[in-house]
Amino acid sequence: MKKRIVAVITALVIVICSVLAMAGCTSSKTDSEYILDKGALVCGITLYEPMNYADEDGEMTGFDTEFAEAVCAKLGIEAKFQVIKWSSKEIELNGKYIDCIWNGFTVNEERKQNVDFSQSYLNNTQCVVIKSDDAGKFTSAEACKELKGTAEAGSAGETEAQKLSSNYTAKDSQMSALTDVLSGNSDFAVVDVILANSICGKGDYAKLEISGAITLESEEYAIGFRKGSDMPEKVNAVINELLADGTLERIAEKYGLSGQLIKN
């Protein structure tokens, strides 16, 4: 009986040691080793033109989509796209549900505390989108104080919208914020000018326009990785290759973004 107990204990010790050894091997991997070993980079995105969206055949397309695919092709891995709740993007990243935030992600000092950024690749600004019929209300930023504002929760636009008006409502996406203006629930939305330029005055958004009376600060897009990741260095090297051979310029031109491309 004692021999059997000893044998069982010994077997358990071996199993535990093996599990701990495997955990040790996993934890010792760099972020790039983890990503390259699984053969895919999972990019956290939201859906909006011209960055990441579905084409007429339901296939994922857009500037950031093709950019990510080009980078991953150079790295010998697959680019995968996971739609996320933007306000939870850092939780998704740190929990390894995604490997990066690659979707018109604005660089700022606050975000630098929580993620490591690649080099910047596009210039952008936030802008105030309104109904064309309401243009007379928006003579300056001061005019927004008494009006209802909206923006995507957790976005750079949210920060600007809250500065403009204390009467603010968060939405789950930039597109939802624009719909809120169309419906009359909000007077204005603060969104990326790259998005606004692609849809305002067209189709379902024909009644919307960018307010020319309100100018917000410029910003830059970059890719966000886990804090302490070695991926930014590897991706930066590939970005510079894509800039040098003209690939990134061709992608930018396809989506009307040549003027915003940062050519380091």
> Does residue 62 lie within any of the structural domains?
yes
Shared domain check, 115 and 132: no
Shared domain check, 202 and 158: yes
Backbone angles phi, psi at 210, to 5 degrees: -85, 130
Shared domain check, 116 and 35: yes
Shared domain check, 138 and 88: no
Q: Could you list the residue range(s) of the whole structural domain that residue 139 is in?
A: 125-219
Residues of the chain with pLDDT under 50: 2-3, 5-26
Q: What pLDDT is stored for residue 11 in this prediction?
A: 46
Q: What pLDDT is stored for residue 264 in this prediction?
A: 74
> Does residue 11 lie within any of the structural domains?
no
> Does residue 107 lie within any of the structural domains?
yes
Q: What pLDDT is stored for residue 61 in this prediction?
A: 97
> Does residue 87 lie within any of the structural domains?
yes
Shared domain check, 243 and 114: yes
CB 239 within 8 A of CB 248: yes
Shared domain check, 160 and 114: no
> Does residue 21 lie within any of the structural domains?
no
Instruction: List pLDDT tens digits, range 3-41.
Output: 454 444 444 444 444 444 444 444 589 999 999 999 999
Q: What pLDDT is stored for residue 33 in this prediction?
A: 97
CB 45 within 8 A of CB 82: yes
Shared domain check, 116 and 137: no
- We report the CATH number of the domain holding residue 115 as 3.40.190.10
Q: What pLDDT is stored for residue 211 in this prediction?
A: 97
Shared domain check, 133 and 211: yes
Q: Count of domains in the chain?
A: 2
> Does residue 36 lie within any of the structural domains?
yes
pTM: 0.84
Shared domain check, 214 and 130: yes
Shared domain check, 138 and 115: no
Shared domain check, 35 and 114: yes
> Does residue 16 lie within any of the structural domains?
no
Tell whether the torsion through CA atoms of 61, 208, 212 and 215 is positive or negative: negative
Shared domain check, 253 and 188: no
Task: Please give, one letter per residue, the 3-state secondary structure of the chain.
Answer: CHHHHHHHHHHHHHHHHHHHHHHHHHHCCCHHHHHHHHCEEEEEECCECCCEEECCCCCEECHHHHHHHHHHHHHCCEEEEEECCHHHHHHHHHCCCCCEECCCCECCHHHHCCEEECCCCEEEEEEEEEEHHHHHHCCCHHHHHHCCEEEECCCHHHHHHHHHCCCEEEECCHHHHHHHHHHCCCCEEEEEHHHHHHHCCCHHHCCEEECCCCCCCEEEECCEEECCCCHHHHHHHHHHHHHHCCHHHHHHHHCCCHHHECCC
> Does residue 26 lie within any of the structural domains?
no
